[in-house]
Structure 1
Amino acid sequence: MARDARGRAPARQRPAIQKVALLVAAVFVLVGVLGFIPGVTERSGDLAFAGHHSQAKLFYLFQVSILHNLIHLVFGLVGLVLARRVGGARLFLAGGGAVYLVVWLYGFGVDRESPANFVPFNDADNWLHLFLGFGMLLLGLLLSPRAGTGGRLDTPFDQP
């Protein structure tokens, strides 16, 4: 595979796992931005920084707050950086999927009116987190299963 001066593969020659990780990360950035836009976010005037009292809903469905939107933005930006390398793409997808499964468990178990629901989550968020968790985890583990796994310790990294 041809590489540029920095050792990265050109976009069209990137493994599928990198392309998928870039797409997923870009969607997170987009969702983070859309969470601040009136019209896309219902009751955007009621957008609280954090806590379950935020009445704003992205796409009239997902309860959001400023903190929630910032988390999506940062997660997406981290994903864009990690997706530049195969191992980073795998980490973003599989690790991010595992994180979202933990977030789903947290959202599933936390009382909606509790101060512990500081991000905040509603039922639509919880279903989305379950879907994202399994989807990202499966993509990270199954897509390009041999890419980025390394090789034998006695094989130099720059040799095929």
Structure 2
Amino acid sequence: MANTRRVARQRTNVQKAALAVGAVFLAVGILGFVPGLTTNYDALLYAGHESGALLLGVFQVSVLHNVVHLIFGVVGLLMARSRTQAKNFLLFGGIVYLILWIYGLLVGHDTAANFVPVNNADNWLHLLLGIGMIALALLLTRERSRSTAAQR
């Protein structure tokens, strides 16, 4: 009888980071729908700056905002399957969060353009996430890139 067990490959550090980031986004997306952890839950709207719900009493959320976190989390978990996809998730996801940070700075918080919605706390979190995700993508793949170049 042939042994059909597959040998499990060890995940690289960048894959572990993408898996962790994806899991956190998935958890945040779920927590945004939990009354108590989301204050003013009765003011949770589908989208727009009128949503008065605050995750952990700080971060403005809406149904759309929570769904985006859920999707982003699932994408992170799926892309953590390979080193290249994990790097791309962290790198391009970080760029998206830096764009969201700029968007949050430029858009008036009480305008229809703030459809996500975001507040000042979200803006600073987006900046930190963007920098952090890009740093993880670059730092955790740097060694392998060097060793590959040295072998040529």
Q: TM-score, normalised by structure 1?
A: 0.85
CA contact (8 A) 1:100 1:132 kept: yes
Which deviations, in whole Å up to 9, do the C-alpha atoms of 1:47-104 show, x marking residues without a partner? 0000000000000000000000000000000110001000010001111001100000
Shift of 1:146: 4.5
Aligned length: 145
C-alpha separation in 2, matches of 1:109 and 1:41? 26
Match for residue 80 of structure 2? 83
Work out the percentage of aligned pairs sharing the same amino acid: 51
| Alignment map for 1:10-21 (pairs within 5 Å) | 13-21=10-18
Runs of 4+ that moved beyond 6 A: none
Match for residue 125 of structure 1? 122
Shift of 1:144: 2.7
Say which of 22, 36, 43 aligns to 1:39: 36
Q: Which amino acid aligns with 1:75?
A: F
Larger helix percent: 2
Shift of 1:147: 4.1
| Alignment map for 1:34-113 (pairs within 5 Å) | 34-113=31-110
Gaps of 5+ in 2: none
C-alpha separation in 2, matches of 1:58 and 1:43? 9
C-alpha separation in 1, matches of 2:60 and 2:8? 39
Gaps of 5+ in 1: 156-160
Structure 1 residues 87, 64: CA separation in 2 closer, same or farther (over 3 Å shift)? Answer: same
CA contact (8 A) 1:87 1:148 kept: no
Shift of 1:142: 1.1
C-alpha separation in 2, matches of 1:48 and 1:134? 29
C-alpha separation in 1, matches of 2:98 and 2:68? 16
C-alpha separation in 2, matches of 1:93 and 1:8? 23
Structure 1 residues 46, 88: CA separation in 2 closer, same or farther (over 3 Å shift)? Answer: same
